[in-house]
Amino acid sequence: MKKINVLISTFFGYGYLTKMPGTVTSFVTSVFIYIAYEYLEYTDLKFSVIFFILLFFYSFYAVKDAESEFKDKDPRQIVIDEVLGQSMPLILLLYLKQNNELNLQIEIYYILSFVFFRIFDIFKPFPVSYFDKNFKNYFGIIMDDIMAGLYSMLLIYIISFKF
């Protein structure tokens, strides 16, 4: 089971990239979701939310189990948190698109959600920094990216009404 948890925690090996594994994983997540929603027209919002929730809770277990495989308290190889955080504004995009609340070309929103998430994940404004600094374990690894995802969602939501 540990091998499966390491595989999931590293997002099938993307975490082992030597250069920017978090950024690459966020980008790959954005591309996968873009293809699923926009090209394959997979638009089941209920399933997307349920899958996200299940992955969120499973990630705590997987990351806790996989942590011992790495030396650092917050191993850069663990990138499932980036998948979760990046998915949040993209699921919001699906909702906003289904409710005709987007005023810009959809690709612009995908790019913005990627950029916003990476900015919040890298610079860690409060409360992102709170989880990063105060929980040096699986909980902090995941929750700082969830907070960055929430900030990204908020900006995407605001932009959807401003333009």
Count of domains observed in the chain: 1
Average pLDDT over residues 121-130: 96
Mean pLDDT of the chain: 95
Which range marks the domain in which residue 66 is found?
A: 2-162
The secondary structure of residue 75, as a DSSP letter, is -
- In 3D space, the residue among 22, 157, 21, 15 whose CA is nearest the CA of residue 88 turns out to be 157
Residue 40 has pLDDT above 80, yes or no: yes
Is the Cβ–Cβ distance between 103 and 160 less than 8 Å? yes
- Give residue 163's pLDDT: 62
